Structure 1
């Protein structure tokens, strides 16, 4: 439960309060991995193509990403971040880092060492 609560607190540190976790995940994926097709984004986020299409449409209307038709295959569309989308990702990451840094600063040295050891164990579990 503590892991879920920490994740929830971090997710609350957003640059855009009205943006859902799913919408931010799409922006973050495009920021980290570059342009995607709709199908690739749907696969990455483990949602259906129609669901991803709704998410992408909302983000496009907000000006956070663009859709560009492929020159060779008009059925294929490339989705990419706009400058506004990049700013949302950068500001959200900045806010999350600042919140976490402040929270960790309140811990004593032994607690920080314990947390670092636990993080390594959690990484191992996640990689299995």
Structure 2
């Protein structure tokens, strides 16, 4: 091992020891997302057809006068995208803490990334 490699290893070890729990979780989610071939949410732009993967943080039923919606915030360690299923009140398996991969076109609503009526695959519960 060269001196530069030794310093790099030491730096990585110190970073792991001093990282917060949130930083460690974000890094783990980013690795899992990359493993399944998903695009980091941070790199997604309006109009792109993407596949994103991560953990659902929140799931909320939003009653509206003309069209109810189920909304879920998906966090992949880089950023959050809101998944919106129009006309739905509940979807079995869509719950906070669940891992899933979603596919669809990125839109922007109120300066937030959104995918409407995404195709999705639930990861097995751990």
TM-score interval (norm. to shorter): under 0.3
Q: Which has the higher strand share?
A: 2
TM-score after normalising by structure 1: 0.27
The higher-RCO structure (CA 8 Å, 6+ apart) is: 1
TM-score after normalising by structure 2: 0.27
Q: Which has the higher helix share?
A: 1
